[in-house]
Amino acid sequence: MNALALSDRAAGDPAAGDPAPGDPTAAVANAPGAAARIARAWAALRDVEDPEIPAVSVVDLGVIRFVTTQSDGSLGVGLSPTYTGCPATEVIQALVERALADADVGAWRVVRVLAPAWSSDWITAEGRRKLAEYGIVPPDHSSSSLRDLRPGGRPVACPRCHSTHTETVSEFGSTPCKALLRCRECLEPFEYFKCI
């Protein structure tokens, strides 16, 4: 039996740590095997594809915030939404739950984590590489703290011909996390992962 507690509470909020009605035979905290369970959970999560950008996993995207043993012995898996209204968030949660249920990790629960807010800076190096291969330009690392509101700054290079002679067609793309650009050299449109 897998215990599931859903909380929109921030990390560290006591509400997120309430004991879950877990499996009575679940391992207690620090019991032998906890490290192995955590490792198996991470391995299972690394196979969960983002439903809208299947080239990257939820781990690559940085939306899995932690996998840790909780006081009742269950594994707590922290999950953050990329955007508050992203429709994929609920699908991602369902996929994560299925992966955990199929993995041999004992009792677990998924906890929604709001703070600190997800940032595109948390996409892993591996995730950035996979995005680029997939044809989506990964976010510029430096911009998540940007305060300026005008477009501009460093030009985004075309993923095909690498020209920096590119223009923004739309600040918003096919998913909340992407913008639409066009290369003025090879004339191909491409997507750019927004920096937040």
Partner 1 sequence: MSAAMKVRDDDLFRYLLRLGDLSLVLGQRLGEWVGHSPALEEDLGLANIALDLIGQARLLLGYAGEIEGRGRDEDQLAFLREHGEYLNPTLAEQPNGDFGRTIVRQVLIDAFQLELYERLTASSDGHLAAIAAKAVKETRYHLRYSGGWLVRLGDGTPESRARMSSAIERLWSLTTELFAEDDVDRAMAERGIAPRLADVQKAWSARIAALLAEATLERPLDRPYSWFGKQGMHSEHLGYMLAEMQYMQRTYPGARW
Closer to partner 1 by Cβ: residue 1 or 149 = 149
Sheet holding 75-79, edge to edge: 64-69, 75-79, 108-112
By CB under 8 A, which span of 10-18, 40-48, 59-67, 103-111 interacts with partner 1?
10-18
Closer to partner 1 by Cβ: residue 34 or 52 = 52
Residue 139 Cβ vs partner 1, minimum distance, rounded to whole Å: 12
Rounded distance between C-alpha atoms, residue 158 and residue 155, angstroms: 9
Selected binder of partner 1 within 4, 34, 132, 196 (CB under 8 A): 196
SS3 content of the chain, % helix, strand, coil (to 5): 30, 20, 55
Residue 101 Cβ vs partner 1, minimum distance, rounded to whole Å: 23
3-state secondary structure (DSSP) of residue 149: coil
Residue 20 Cβ vs partner 1, minimum distance, rounded to whole Å: 14
Kindly report whether the peptide bond that precedes residue 155 is cis, defined as omega within 30 degrees of 0: no
154 binds partner 1 (CB under 8 A): no
Task: For residue 97, report the phi and psi dihedrals to the nearest 5 degrees.
Answer: -65, -40
| Size, binding site for partner 1 by CB under 8 A | 35
126 binds partner 1 (CB under 8 A): no
By CB under 8 A, which span of 39-47, 50-58, 68-76, 167-175 interacts with partner 1?
167-175
What residues have CB less than 8 Å from 129, skipping those under 6 apart? none
> What is the number of other CB atoms lying within 10 angstroms of the CB of residue 91?
13
Closer to partner 1 by Cβ: residue 24 or 85 = 85
Of the CA atoms within 13 Å of residue 170, those in its CB half-sphere come to 12
Residue 100 Cβ vs partner 1, minimum distance, rounded to whole Å: 24
Residues that bind partner 1 (CB under 8 A): 8-10, 13-15, 18, 81, 83-87, 114-119, 144, 146-147, 149-151, 169-174, 176, 180, 194, 196
